[in-house]
Amino acid sequence: MGQDLLQEGIAAFQAGDREKARELFMLVVEVDARNERAWYYLAVLESDSARRREYLEHVIEINPKNEKAREVLDRLKARQAVPVESAAAESSSAAASASPSPAPKSSRIRALNPAAESPGAASTSGFALPFNIPGAPLRISPESLLRDGSNLLRTAFQTYGRTSGATLLTSELSKATWWRFWLLTAFVAVIVALTSIVTSLVIVLRFNLGVAGFLSILLTPLLALPAVLIMEYAGVYASYRYAVTRGGGSGSLVRHAYGIALRWLPLVVVYAEVTFVLMALGAVAPLLFFLIMVMMAVIMLSEVMDKVHVMTDPQQKWFTSGIMVAGAIVAGVILAIILGGFIFTGAIPFMIG
């Protein structure tokens, strides 16, 4: 419950709703008085220097190694030695140091641990997103997208590990934001699109499809990119609605979505790459392989449901996982009907070949 409230508070903070964010962070510390991140956010949101100092002292008590909190706290203490005018300026400087942007609607907080900076951290280079995604950095660049996307995908594969996979999954779920979800999804969509182009080329050459085939190759990335996004979110939304209405689930949508992305998208990559290999070898992706991947997806997603939701009936996690997979497949079939022949030439290689 505390983690869900924390993520909702972060989302409200990043959306500019500071009052709602403050209320949610207060609820977090009531539930978990040693939640370092909640106390730090409360310090950033607090205009009263005495209370801000109190909140920062809580952070230092919980984590003496939090250098950022200590730096701001030292500045607040130093105010006692300067005139009132300077003190007011110093207070503004301390608040700005804790939150990179002075404008409430675009505020972003730095990671509590600089060594563990995650996607969504503030950046001074690149360009600003034309739309708001909770948890997104103020500025992005192709280099940062490539770096952060590859790191997230590597982490997603690592959650499959037998020894530390479950622990890593829990840790990642605590960092869930819509930016992480969409960045990981878009990164995998690009991989699928690139693989689809090569797969389409193999099919066109084998069946001698001519000009129409090569035209479909040019359209492949335009079809594959939205296909991955639509299929995944369709499954995410359908499974979440089932979890909260029928399964008694209490988790947040963002954690539900990010958890699914961590376990679903690695399978999408594997299926796309194996499909390409089979096509290159002269075989069509067998139905058996597809069914195996579906079974793996349901098993892996059930673990996510266990961590995100506290369901009244433990068996509901299997139904929720199944609905996720079914929702994605149904969305894929609808896309196949709409897009017609382009699907055949490899636009969605993770469907049945």
The pLDDT tens digits of the residues spanning 123-133 come to: 445 777 787 78
Report which DSSP code applies to 217: H
The pLDDT tens digits of the residues spanning 46-98 come to: 887 878 888 888 888 898 888 888 888 888 777 655 544 444 444 444 444 44
Amino acid present at 291: L
Spatial separation of the C-alpha atoms in residues 280 and 302, rounded to whole Å: 33
> Is pLDDT above 80 for 343?
no
Name the token pair of 289.
């392989």
Least confident of 46-55, 101-110, 261-270, 287-296: 101-110
Share of the chain above pLDDT 70, in %: 75
Expressed in angstroms, the distance from the first to the final Cα of the chain is: 42
CA 138 to chain centre: 16
pLDDT of residue 180: 92
> Is pLDDT above 80 for 298?
yes
User: Is there a contact between 239 and 321 (Cβ–Cβ < 8 Å)?
Assistant: yes
pTM above 0.75, yes or no: no
Give the position of tokens 């409230």.
Answer: 5
The pLDDT tens digits of the residues spanning 22-52 come to: 888 888 887 888 888 888 889 888 887 878 8
Give the position of tokens 């641990």.
Answer: 113
Domains of the chain listed by start with CATH number: 1-95 (1.25.40.10), 166-347 (no CATH)
* Section 175-182 average pLDDT: 89
On the 0-12 / 13-18 / 19+ scale of CB atoms within 10 A, 327 is buried
Share of the chain above pLDDT 90, in %: 18
